[in-house]
Amino acid sequence: MAAIVVCALAFTVAVPLRTYLTQRSDMIVQEQRQAELEAEVAEWERRKAQVEDPAQIEAEARRRLRYVMPGETPYLVQLPEDKREAEQPPPGQKPEVDGAWYQRLWEGTAGR
């Protein structure tokens, strides 16, 4: 009789305990996710403050769009490494062929 009572008590405690442990682990995961999202929001807020700064907007326009102010003389320095990279096709794309080898030979552009 005592064994039945102990088993019944074990079953009545086991289900709520399992639910508690599951909810606790879910809560830990959600707290970690919340911390990640708060860090992401802080990063976006920092970026928003940068974008609202007129000096930052000017710097981005100069860097990305190569804008210059009126009266300034723009200079573009192109290094040999930059030229070689620009001539190469993007990865996964075949280089363009101007024609068959015999057509290029006939036209005299085989060596170019």
Angle at 61 between CA 63 and CA 58, to 5 degrees: 110
Residue 29: the pLDDT is 95
> Nearest-CA neighbor of 108 among 98, 50, 96?
98
pTM: 0.44
Mean pLDDT of the chain, nearest integer = 83
Q: Read off the tokens for 18.
A: 């399992």
Cα(53)–Cα(67) distance, integer angstroms: 17
Q: When comparing pLDDT for 42 and 53, which is higher?
A: 42
Q: Which pLDDT band, with edges at 50, 70 and 90, does 103 fall under?
A: confident
- In this structure, what are the phi and psi dihedrals at residue 111, rounded to the nearest 5 degrees? -85, 0
- 23 pLDDT exceeds 60? yes
Residue 28: the pLDDT is 95
